[in-house]
Amino acid sequence: MPKINTDTLWDLAAVELRTRESRSADDDAEEDSAALCERTVLFMGSKAGGKTTILLRCLDRDEASKPTLALEYTFGRRAKGHNTPKDIAHLWELGGGTSLSDLVQIPITPLNVSSVSVVLVLDLSKPSALWGTMEKLLQAALNQVEKVHALPQRPGESRTSKQQNQSRVLRVLPKDHPDRELISPFPVPLLLIGSKFDIFQDFESEKRKVICKTLRFLAHYYGASMIFSSSKSETMMSKARSFVSHLAFGTEKGYFMLYSMSTDPSKPLIIPAGMDSLSQIGSPPTIDVDIGTLHARNPLDLWKKVFERVFPPERTTEHKELKDPAKDPQYSEPLIDCMRAQKDEVPEMGFLLTVFIIIPS
């Protein structure tokens, strides 16, 4: 076998680099179109809120869900047609509720920010934790997207700018929509899923109205779609699956995703992005709350104050978040934990030995 000349390989690499740098705009557009065959979807939300169950249903996997270990990855593939390459969806699931929000930097990167989507699952059965979960997780994802956009673009890297992303999201609302200047669309496609509707439907009527109107406002404010779901209803899971499949594989929107809208608090909400309005949502619902006594900086802050008056947030002292998953009891592994404990003792023993040797001298 003839020996490969390494100089030739370097020459070929240099030629390839020059070719990429000299590509036309049409070539770049064609490559971007091809790149859309791979999409990334980040699932995050309430702890034990049903994220894994929804994810497994979307992948047609008939298996029991298990607690998510920090950040887990899986993928799905879907064929466009006969003898055509399959679309690939990179699916990430963030566990631990809000305690591990810093890990969003792993699935949101400069290479995929133009094709990433976020699915935020909120547990309707625990309204006291709803706003805090939404606020912290969306802020973490927003910070990471902005951080990625602030990075200098490397040669040969195809990435949409922050302005392009915002322009794409603003297209959710028609140009003549009265709320166009009053909302703050999330920089990447966002889907809100209210889980455990089977428990939520037994709440008092007034409390259901507060939760529904608040979630409608949040979805509209962030330019997101919203749907309620329950693992005990195949019909509801099927509709949630359609929304997720559209984000993951770019599938066509079904009729109910384009034209169907349900805002009745006694029924599962279905609100495709751009179909709601502030006039339809109305003012923040009040239950023994005088809005005039609340000092809010903006509409989002006002809705937060009203919601938390009705559903006071959980005390952080009672629900301490574990930043280190290795110390979380649900992830305990006796053998590994024992070995880790022995390893942690080694530096201390070494230090004591050093001190013992130095002192006599």
Three-state DSSP at 41 gives: strand
Q: Looking at residue 349, what is its pLDDT?
A: 45
Q: Looking at residue 161, what is its pLDDT?
A: 57
Residue owning tokens 């490969």:
4
Say which residues have a Cβ less than 8 Å from residue 268's Cβ, sequence separation at least 6: 197, 227, 228, 229, 230, 236, 262
Token pair for 243: 């929304």
Q: Looking at residue 65, what is its pLDDT?
A: 80
Q: 149: left (phi > 0), else alpha (psi -120 to 50), else beta?
A: alpha
Q: Looking at residue 260, what is its pLDDT?
A: 79
Do 193 and 119 contact (CB within 8 A), yes or no? Answer: yes
Say which residues have a Cβ less than 8 Å from residue 100's Cβ, sequence separation at least 6: 70, 71, 94, 323, 325
Q: Looking at residue 287, what is its pLDDT?
A: 65
- What is the rounded CA–CA span in Å between residue 270 and residue 212? 11
Q: Measured between alpha carbons, how far is residue 360 from residues 69, 299, 351, 352, 357 in Å?
A: 49, 71, 15, 13, 6
- What is the rounded CA–CA span in Å between residue 351 and residue 357? 10
Long-range contacts at 345-350 (CB < 8 A, ≥ 24 apart): none
Residue owning tokens 């990471």:
144
- What is the rounded CA–CA span in Å between residue 223 and residue 142? 14
Three-state DSSP at 94 gives: strand
**Residue 63 burial (C-beta neighbours within 10 Å; 0-12, 13-18, 19+):** exposed
Token pair for 346: 């080694």
- What is the rounded CA–CA span in Å between residue 190 and residue 186? 7
Say which residues have a Cβ less than 8 Å from residue 91's Cβ, sequence separation at least 6: 40, 41, 43, 55, 59, 73, 74, 75, 76, 248
Token pair for 76: 């799905």
Q: Measured between alpha carbons, how far is residue 89 from residues 76, 92, 248, 301 in Å?
A: 5, 10, 5, 35
Beta bridge partner(s), residue 89: 39, 76
- What is the rounded CA–CA span in Å between residue 261 and residue 96? 32
- What is the rounded CA–CA span in Å between residue 57 and residue 68? 16
Residue-level pLDDT, tens digit, the chain, 361 residues: 444 454 566 666 666 666 665 554 444 444 444 444 899 999 999 999 999 999 998 888 888 788 888 899 999 988 877 767 788 999 999 999 999 999 999 999 999 998 999 999 999 999 999 999 999 999 999 999 999 988 887 665 555 655 655 565 567 777 788 898 889 999 999 999 999 999 999 999 999 999 999 999 999 999 999 999 999 999 999 999 999 999 998 887 766 566 679 999 999 999 999 899 999 999 888 766 666 667 778 889 999 999 999 999 977 543 444 456 566 666 677 888 888 887 777 654 444 444 444 444 4
Query: How many C-beta atoms lie closer than 10 Å to residue 227's C-beta?
Result: 24
